[in-house]
Structure 1
Amino acid sequence: MTVRSAVTRRHPVDEVLPAHKLAAYGFQHVVAFYAGAVLVPIIIGGAIGLTNEQLIHLINADLFTCGIASIIQAVGFRKIGVKLPLLQGVTFAGVSPVIAIAMANGGGTEGLLYVYGAVIVAGLFTFLIAPWFSRLLRFFPPVVTGTVIAIIGIALLPVAVNDAVTNPATHEQDPTNGRWMAYAIGTLVIIVLIQRFFRGFTATIAVLLGLVIGSATAYVLGDMTFDGVSEASWVGFTQPFLFGAPKFSVIAIISMIVVLMITAVESTGSVFATGEIVGKRITKDDIAATLRADGVATVIGGSFNSFPYTAFSENVGLVRLTRVRSRWVVAAAGVIMIVLGLLPKTAAVVASIPSPVLGGAALALFATVAVVGIQTLSKVDFTDHRNLIIVATSLGLALLVTIQPTVSEGVPSWLELLFSSGIVLGAFTAIVLNILFFHVGGSRGATVAGSPGDSITLDAVNEMSLDEFSTTFGDVVQGSDWVVRRAYEQRPYADAHALREAFQDSLLAGTTEEQVELISAFPDLGSEDDTGEAFAKDHVSLAHLGDEEHRSVVDLATAYRDHFGFPLVICAAETEHYDRVLANGWSRMENSPGAERSFAMIEVAKIANHRFDDLVADANPIAAARFGRLNDLS
């Protein structure tokens, strides 16, 4: 057996957990997602005048198709589905347009027929344009994706707040009643305490336990009933085209296509956020696969009496909070939702959870999504005033609509869709401003390197000689000729993303001898060469250490070189603390030479990636790329 095969491991995203864990984690996703899942059909059904029986059909259909859509996205079939832990749900961005289309065509079930016709066509359109849309990633740098993700989390927080102050019996908001706030804050406190004092499996189901404990408390105190459970039937299947054959209107179809295009931006942000959380590099093909799944799920939704689908941001926060990265957990959640869609009585049990309890859990989940966006924005250069303006303006307009949703009533009818939600307006603003500031007005291509006063355009990079290219980009890979040469041979570059991929592919193509040569180009930790600004940023600079600490690191570096024959390389951005440097280095002494070469290459790749971020202006849309494919070497 070769060293490579011995150390190759499955990415946590692809790990299939034991059945009991899949069930528990999957159910936690369902519970966290349930309120948002049923909220859309409830709002739409009430607004267009559906009967209670018709509304139940809408909810069951929603759960059933949510399950199918989630399985498609998480499991993946050929080029459909991103194969990440992304739960699919009906997009909130479509609520207002759906109501408008239905009411414009008579309301009730008659209006729904035009809605479903538009949904099906828009789903097909999304599926067909997915590969083209994925090529637009250069318009979604961290300043855009980070802003959109942060806005999604912030804009969803009022939903959690409203639930937290809603009377479970009357379903009316009662913010002066401290009883409801006590349930919400109590649930949140339970989740935090479980995260703090428990480890392992218990900590990962903190949200589920918080909901169970909060609901049990509410039941004991008389604020939770199961009246709806007794009224629900045991089995119920909503057949396709329950209300009749879909009807088609050009205006309705165009409106729904616009919704799906805006939703595609939201899905793109959710994919990047999930990739950042699970540590997996997101490519153009991943975005195309995501949108194909959105399109297929939307067609299925329109056929099964449901609405447009997108990745549910709430559950992105749950992945971050629980640190359970397996996509099969979401697949399990999809199966559970299908079952709930077929068993209305079982679904009614989940629906009995009091709103304040759900609100308390949602506060943690939605805020976590916002934090993911803030983390992405931390990679943005805010000394560039253009980035500052993009984030500030987008966030301000998003909050305007979120806090005062009635402003949409004062805009022209052709702008109502744009002002339908803070997420829609904020995402649109971030994209347009990014194009205005960074992609309009240049005649020689986008700026990809250099300082603002001495920039280098993409066209200039494509026209460089090998010597010029090496001078500009050689420091990214410690002056390694073979990496630079192979990256140079991949010209012309369509964008900065392609330029980054050229270095990634070149590193992957290195032979054992070439990789050892590259690793050996780095100085030993603690040596006289291990100084200066570059190493302070990406390697491990030890100038700040005391004599005894410095000696400890030098001893480690010496022992490491004696053992493996090349220097110890550790990326400062990943392991900054002195104690962690020692612990990391000594633990790697246990590796075989072949395995350690792979670990060293991972550290080299991380350093190269951070240097690339510093040098290149329009780098990969999110720094989550981090040369992720090199993880396969370990």
Structure 2
Amino acid sequence: MKAVLRPSSRQTSRHPVDQLLPPGKLAVYGAQHVLAFYAGAVIVPILLASAIGLSTEQLIHLINADLFTCGIASIIQSVGFWKVGVRLPLLQGVTFTAVSPMIAIGLAAGGGTDGLLVIYGAVLVAGLATFFIAPFFSKLIRFFPPVVTGSVITIIGLALLPVAAGDAVGGAGPDAAPTSGKNMAYALGTLALIVLIQRVFKGFMATIAVLIGLVAGTLVAWAFGDAHFGAVGDAAWAGVTTPFYFGWPKFSVAAIISMVVVMLITAVETTGDVFATGEIVEKRIGREDIARALRADGLATTIGGVFNSFPYTCFAENVGLVRLTRVRSRWVVATAGAIMIVIGLLPKAGAIVAGVPHPVLGGAALAMFATVAVVGFQTLTKVDFHDHRNVVIVATSVGLAMYVTAQPQVAQAVPDWAEIIFGSGITLGSLTAIFLNILFHHVGKNFGPAVAGQPGDTVRLDQVNKMTREEFVETFGGLFQGPRWAVERAWDMRPYADTHALRRSFQEALFSGSRDEQRDLIQAYPQLGSQFVADGLSGEASLRDQSDKGLTFLGDPERDQLAAITSEYEQRFGFPLVISVRDAESYDRIVEQGRERLGNCENQEHAAALLEIAKIAGYRFDDFVSDANPIHSARTRWSSNR
């Protein structure tokens, strides 16, 4: 029996990221990643070849080389070795940030193969530079708090949605289908099928919803004559990519500097993708994880320069797929990498995958890219928005990102050196979030958000951290009735990083008290609906609490009913009935809850009273913050009531 249990115990203790799934599931999930990734993977060589004047034969080789190297890069990132690879389900692809600079480098070198060789020289050096600066860049992780990572992740998701929308209406480029109602039907039909499968099925079927949607959408389009696989017959069975196929690389200082800048910007995007994936798979991301991911980017980019490909980064498209399917194993991405290597060596296989119509791919991408934005929203819930500086950081960075995403011609109005920044909403928004975070939180005096007081006489977090015990108790003593021991112990937990930490200190102090201390605190709370509270004799805080559901102006029948319940409760347990009135739906629910709790044991009610006191203190803390930030609070209330 013991021999049977040991493997099971080891398996359950392994993080889902590291779990090795059965071969069949690995193949299916890996294929799903490849299909979702394919269009984004090949668009860079297509755009580059068209811009610098490469032949069709050269373009085919670039696509095969790109897929082959994507596979190698994805295996390096997901499997990892030594200090290379973050070992998360992150699939690698050619960064879009490099498109404009590579085109500029290629054209400046005369275009064609000559331009391509200068590009590869810059890619090789930039890859090596990224590899060696990775540990130094990772030390900047303190400049990536949730306000930055949440903004970057949200921007990535939102900025990719127009790409999905472009595919949904027929795609881009000379081979794109015209915009039509049929294209819209393919896109929305694929999206609807994915949603339906997610709603109806569970388990394995739900996790391959995107794959089913892509296959079904392609089959329907093929039946109507809108999916074409003629290229399969023309494609060769085998196509091996060889190092330096186009010739030995050439090196230009200006091109190298430009590409190093691209990789630094890409490092910011990679950092955002790593944090996003960490959120999705519930794995904490540290400085060494960022360094490992960036080393993998650098190594993959160097390999790309050798095998006729381009700079690599984590692909946000597949981050969305991980979130949507909830399949967290990194070995799925490793399998996808192996599939891409095979496709890169078998042009016919690549031609089959390339037959997926743009509208079908766009319909699936709408779901995947939007889920990346949702991860950003979830990360932003950790941000202290009582601090107005964080509101400015998020609003400005997202606003600028959407500005250049919606109006891409803006890049044409800036100097050439700035096009690399203004040519991408992800780049501009990410750099803006980082810069504003440094400006607001790391430059000059940091007073922190207002947490108490009135306009003109507010108490800010920086001041709270410097308060004496007496000053702290005087400021926050009203969070609890009666004894002040919980507030005194909260003072011992200074300094507070933000208002969330300050709030948590009161909760931790409350539950750290002895049973006798907690009992004395419970005894201090007034009876629900008593005239004593209505007359304001138990304090302004209690009056505000109980007036929320009208307990301070009850009619005689209701007051008598509530008094009977609270009296019976106190006789039974020896302490008053404590309920967080603001949490209750109505007066009737308060009465019903009081009657239900009469049937509990004393220990359970002691714990229940503490939980209710913690809730009451939380509301009172919110009142403190709202009083100190009346404009922000009014705007928040107005927005939530719209």
What is the TM-score of this pair, normalised by structure 2?
Answer: 0.74
State how many pairs are aligned: 541
1:329 equivalent in alignment to 2:327: no
Q: 1:198-238 CA deviation, whole Å, 9 max, x = no partner?
A: 11100110000000000000111111121111111111111
Please name the residue that 2:266 is paired with. Answer: 263
**Equivalent of residue 122 in structure 1, options 106, 126, 149:** 126
Check conservation: 1:30, 1:337, Cα contact below 8 A. Answer: yes
**Equivalent of residue 360 in structure 2, options 339, 343, 357:** 357
1:27 equivalent in alignment to 2:31: yes
**Equivalent of residue 277 in structure 2, options 263, 274, 280:** 274
- Indicate the SS of the match to 2:313: strand
Q: CA shift at 1:471, angstroms?
A: 13
Please name the residue that 2:200 is paired with. Answer: 197
Please name the residue that 1:418 is paired with. Answer: 421
Residues 169/395 of structure 1: CA separation in 2 closer, same or farther (3 Å cut):
closer
- Indicate the SS of the match to 1:136: helix
Please name the residue that 2:560 is paired with. Answer: none
Letter in 2 for 1:18: P
Q: 1:459-487 CA deviation, whole Å, 9 max, x = no partner?
A: x98x9999999999xx9xx98999999x9
Letter in 1 for 2:218: S
Please name the residue that 1:242 is paired with. Answer: 245
Check conservation: 2:44, 2:96, Cα contact below 8 A. Answer: yes
Check conservation: 2:580, 2:612, Cα contact below 8 A. Answer: no
Residues 551/130 of structure 1: CA separation in 2 closer, same or farther (3 Å cut):
farther
Q: How does 1:14-413 map to 2 (within 5 A)?
A: 14-166=18-170, 171-172=175-176, 174-175=178-179, 177-413=180-416
Check conservation: 2:159, 2:401, Cα contact below 8 A. Answer: yes
Please name the residue that 2:436 is paired with. Answer: 433
Q: 1:107-156 CA deviation, whole Å, 9 max, x = no partner?
A: 11211111111111111111111122112122222222122111111111
Please name the residue that 1:627 is paired with. Answer: none
Check conservation: 2:597, 2:605, Cα contact below 8 A. Answer: no
Please name the residue that 1:582 is paired with. Answer: none
Higher relative CO (Cα under 8 Å, sequence separation at least 6) belongs to 1
Structure 2 distance, partners of 1:67, 1:38, is 13
Q: 1:501-559 CA deviation, whole Å, 9 max, x = no partner?
A: xx9xxx9xxxxxxxx989999979xx8799999xxxxxx97963656656768978879
Structure 1 distance, partners of 2:377, 2:210, is 22
Please name the residue that 2:482 is paired with. Answer: none
Q: CA shift at 1:79, angstroms?
A: 1.7
Structure 2 distance, partners of 1:571, 1:253, is 62
Structure 2 distance, partners of 1:207, 1:313, is 16
Please name the residue that 2:634 is paired with. Answer: none
Check conservation: 2:447, 2:460, Cα contact below 8 A. Answer: no
Q: How does 1:447-486 map to 2 (within 5 A)?
A: 454-455=459-460
Q: CA shift at 1:310, angstroms?
A: 0.8
Please name the residue that 1:11 is paired with. Answer: 15
Q: CA shift at 1:53, angstroms?
A: 1.0
Check conservation: 1:523, 1:530, Cα contact below 8 A. Answer: no
Where does structure 1 lack aligned partners over 5 or more consecutive residues?
A: 508-515, 534-539, 577-606, 615-634
Structure 2 distance, partners of 1:285, 1:522, is 44
Q: 1:73-117 CA deviation, whole Å, 9 max, x = no partner?
A: 111212211111111111111111111111111111211111111
Q: CA shift at 1:259, angstroms?
A: 0.8
Structure 2 distance, partners of 1:569, 1:206, is 45
Please name the residue that 1:619 is paired with. Answer: none
Q: CA shift at 1:253, angstroms?
A: 1.1
Structure 2 distance, partners of 1:285, 1:559, is 46
Q: Identity over aligned residues, as a percent?
A: 59
Structure 1 distance, partners of 2:236, 2:295, is 35
Asked which structure has the greater CA Rg, the reply is: 2
Check conservation: 1:150, 1:370, Cα contact below 8 A. Answer: yes
Residues 518/121 of structure 1: CA separation in 2 closer, same or farther (3 Å cut):
farther
Check conservation: 1:144, 1:434, Cα contact below 8 A. Answer: yes
Q: CA shift at 1:187, angstroms?
A: 0.6
Q: CA shift at 1:384, angstroms?
A: 3.0
RMSD of Structure 2 on Structure 1 (CA) = 4.4
Structure 1 distance, partners of 2:421, 2:16, is 38
Q: 1:174-199 CA deviation, whole Å, 9 max, x = no partner?
A: 23x21111111111111111111111
Residues 466/249 of structure 1: CA separation in 2 closer, same or farther (3 Å cut):
farther
Residues 186/438 of structure 1: CA separation in 2 closer, same or farther (3 Å cut):
same
Q: 1:244-291 CA deviation, whole Å, 9 max, x = no partner?
A: 111111111111111111111111111111111111111111111111
Q: 1:572-621 CA deviation, whole Å, 9 max, x = no partner?
A: 99xx9xxxxxxxxxxxxxxxxxxxxxxxxxxxxxx9xxx9xx9xxxxxxx
Residues 409/467 of structure 1: CA separation in 2 closer, same or farther (3 Å cut):
same
Letter in 2 for 1:21: K
Structure 2 distance, partners of 1:291, 1:128, is 9
Please name the residue that 2:631 is paired with. Answer: none
Where does structure 2 lack aligned partners over 5 or more consecutive residues?
A: 480-484, 527-540, 543-578, 626-642
Check conservation: 1:60, 1:238, Cα contact below 8 A. Answer: yes
Structure 1 distance, partners of 2:248, 2:514, is 65
Structure 1 distance, partners of 2:205, 2:80, is 29
Letter in 2 for 1:351: A
Please name the residue that 2:562 is paired with. Answer: none
What is the TM-score of this pair, normalised by structure 1?
Answer: 0.74
- Indicate the SS of the match to 1:131: helix
Residues 178/9 of structure 1: CA separation in 2 closer, same or farther (3 Å cut):
same
Check conservation: 2:411, 2:422, Cα contact below 8 A. Answer: yes
Structure 2 distance, partners of 1:276, 1:301, is 29
Residues 262/6 of structure 1: CA separation in 2 closer, same or farther (3 Å cut):
closer
Residues 558/418 of structure 1: CA separation in 2 closer, same or farther (3 Å cut):
same
